[in-house]
Amino acid sequence: MYVLGTAGHVDHGKSTLVKALTGIDPDRLKEEKDRQMTIDLGFAWYGLPSGNEVGIVDVPGHRDFIDNMLAGVGGIDAVLLIIAADEGVMPQTREHLAILKLLKIQYGIIVLTKIDLVDDPEWLELVEADIRGLIKGSFLEQAKIMRVSAYTKEGLDELSCEIESILLQCPPKRNSGKPRLPIDRVFSLKGFGTVVTGTLLNGEFHSGESVEILPGKRTSRIRSIQSHKRKVDTALPGNRTAINLIGVEKEDIKRGQVVVLPGNYSTSRRIDAKVEMLAEANSSINHNDFLKCFINTAQSIARVRVIGKKEIRPGEDGWVQLEFEDEIVVEKGDSFILRRPSPAETIAGGIVLNTHSVKRYKRFSDDSLKKMALMDSGSDEDILLSNLDKCGVVSRQEFLKASGFEPGKANELIDVLVPDEIVIIEAAGIRDTLLVSRTNWAILKEKITGIFTDFYQKRPLREGMPRKSLWELLKIPQRSFNLILEKLIQEGLLAEKNGEVGLANYQVHFSEEQEASIQTILAEFSSNEFQPPSVRAEREKYGDDLISAMIDKGYLISLEEDIAILPQTYQQLQAKTIAYFETEKEITLGQFRDLFQTSRKYALAFLEYLDKQEVTVRDGDVRKLSAG
């Protein structure tokens, strides 16, 4: 289903034409009836000759109600530019056409109404010539001018056929699975409650679904859905849709809010955009101007930060950051209109490049200009990767706020880019994950390799350093560090041993002098197997790194800080202990001391190590042979 919008000067017969085509009077307010003038948006629909239906949004033509007009044209597929034959092109004809061009509307028909009031054929020719001059160079340049009379019905059938022909040229509706309904009307029905209406974009809603209303983050559930006053279970993208909401009051919702599925969209107060100024605008857009921005059905005052220029002049385009007084909900690619509040004037339109601009850019810096250029002409994937590059290693939830896209779209892009362009770092039992671009991951690994290269040059006998030391050098959050470390161990870059971390492929090499010292040390430990030398004393004598390297290499087994033994000593310790239990059920610390003719200090250290190796198990003051 498609949606048509009307446009044109006040009293040129827009609402009358809609009623003649559809049988529905779009003027629903008493004031509209009394003044015979459309004030707010009106809605109607009818069946085309083929049987297809089209929805129509009827907008006010008076200049005082341009704000309402702008709330109605955001979701239309094509437009009927309506011009009265007896008056011709008028001021709001020109302004409405300018707005349609700025909103990038691509399809439309020019309808010359009230032809029953004009008897002079030459006048009609002059009016049409004036129209052709007006639309030259616009999307309507090749459009047909349809002459009709709502009063006599002349030309209505031909107009319906042309409407169908134009709508067949419109592209199919996008369904990204992330529906949003910008609200253009709110009312309450007795016995049913609050109803909101709008043109549904980007996806489907289903009866019974839970939804959010943004801004405001109110939650609700869909009681029922109607389209063209018919109850449906599913609302389709592009349809005029009415949703009956459960648990919210009419007074709690207003035009400009958006109905979405929970988690798919978030509000923003700053966006990046490209704007195009009307050539006929009376003044430039200057840095820090405050303008009224109309986007979808919402409006808000916005501070305009001009990027890369001092000002944007009439007829020019340029990049801006818009900082809003109110929270808004937008998607990349949404079009908007900028108007001066006073005197009221439409001056520019634009397109959203980044939905969540996390910081103010330096106006003339190379980085700012490169970023804006990328957002303006790069692919969605390129833009997301560029934003991820700036974040380094970041949690997925945090990045969704800084990605430049709505959360649902960002997650889609991330899934596409993994694993070729994005690395995911995760661990079992942890809900959130870390993201890093493949480029930054390579840079991080290179940095860590460099840290260890420097470390090994200074301390070549050490296979690694304590976790804490590496963390302090990297200067990243502890939680991120732990996940990154586990990932690098999984990938085989790092290895962890005895509580220290180092490059997995690093090998310690001893000099001849160190080899000689090692043999001396081994001899000392061999001659005093069960009363070995003090490790502290050996470190002071031969150097801390050499003793640590001997432990890393397996020359010595560290039992505790000051006690170590030879591997073969441990084998004797284990074998003799097991043999003891062939005839005995348990052993005390004293018995163990006597068995190995050692001191209590060493006996306790030996027993505790045997416990760790699950050779023995402690039971009160005695040890028993472990069942394992």
CATH of the domain at 496: 1.10.10.10
Q: HEC profile for 563-584?
A: EEECHHHHHHHHHHHHHHCCCC
Burial class (CB in 10 A: 0-12, 13-18, 19+), 209: middle
For residues 165 and 197, membership in a common domain is answered with no
Q: 118 in a domain, yes or no?
A: yes
314 upstream amide cis, omega within 30 of 0: no
For residues 309 and 413, membership in a common domain is answered with no
pLDDT digit string (tens) for 247-266? 999 999 999 999 999 988 98
CATH of the domain at 359: 2.40.30.10
Domain boundary among 447, 475, 509: 509
Q: 31 in a domain, yes or no?
A: yes
Q: Is the dihedral of CA 242, 246, 250, 253 positive or negative?
A: negative
- Which pTM was predicted? 0.70
Q: 175 in a domain, yes or no?
A: no
Residue pair 109/82 in contact by the 8 Å Cβ criterion: no
Residues of the chain where predicted confidence (pLDDT) is lower than 50: 29, 31-39
| Assigned token pair, 340 | 């001066």
pLDDT digit string (tens) for 497-535? 878 999 999 998 999 999 999 999 999 999 989 999 999
For residues 602 and 455, membership in a common domain is answered with no
For residues 299 and 249, membership in a common domain is answered with no
User: Token pair 């801390």 is at which residue?
Assistant: 544
User: CA–CA separation, 211 vs 221, rounded Å?
Assistant: 6
Domain boundary among 210, 238, 260: 260
Q: 241 in a domain, yes or no?
A: yes
**Domain containing residue 441:** 378-509
Q: 275 in a domain, yes or no?
A: yes
Q: 231 in a domain, yes or no?
A: yes
Which residue, among 107, 191, 131, 122, has the nearest Cα to 8 in the 3D structure?
Answer: 131
For residues 9 and 139, membership in a common domain is answered with yes
DSSP string, 363-411: TT-HHHHHHHHHHHHS-HHHHHHHHHHHH-SEEHHHHHHHSSS-HHHHH
Identify the pLDDT of residue 628.
67
Which residue, among 468, 474, 464, 471, has the nearest Cα to 500 in the 3D structure?
Answer: 464
Q: 217 in a domain, yes or no?
A: yes
For residues 531 and 421, membership in a common domain is answered with no
For residues 480 and 395, membership in a common domain is answered with yes
Residue pair 345/67 in contact by the 8 Å Cβ criterion: no
Domain count of the fold of the chain = 5
For residues 343 and 435, membership in a common domain is answered with no
Q: 174 in a domain, yes or no?
A: no
Identify the pLDDT of residue 29.
47
| Alpha helices, DSSP H, located in 197-342 | none
Contacting residues for 146 by C-beta, under 8 A, at least 6 apart: 109, 110, 111, 112, 155, 158, 159, 162
CATH of the domain at 30: 3.40.50.300
For residues 146 and 72, membership in a common domain is answered with yes
CA 298 to chain centre: 21
For residues 503 and 433, membership in a common domain is answered with yes
Q: How far lies 33's CA from each of 26, 84, 174, 451, in Å?
A: 10, 20, 37, 79
Domain boundary among 114, 142, 169: 169
For residues 156 and 202, membership in a common domain is answered with no
Identify the pLDDT of residue 228.
81
Any idea of the CA torsion for 377, 381, 383, 385, to the nearest 10 degrees? -150
For residues 10 and 130, membership in a common domain is answered with yes
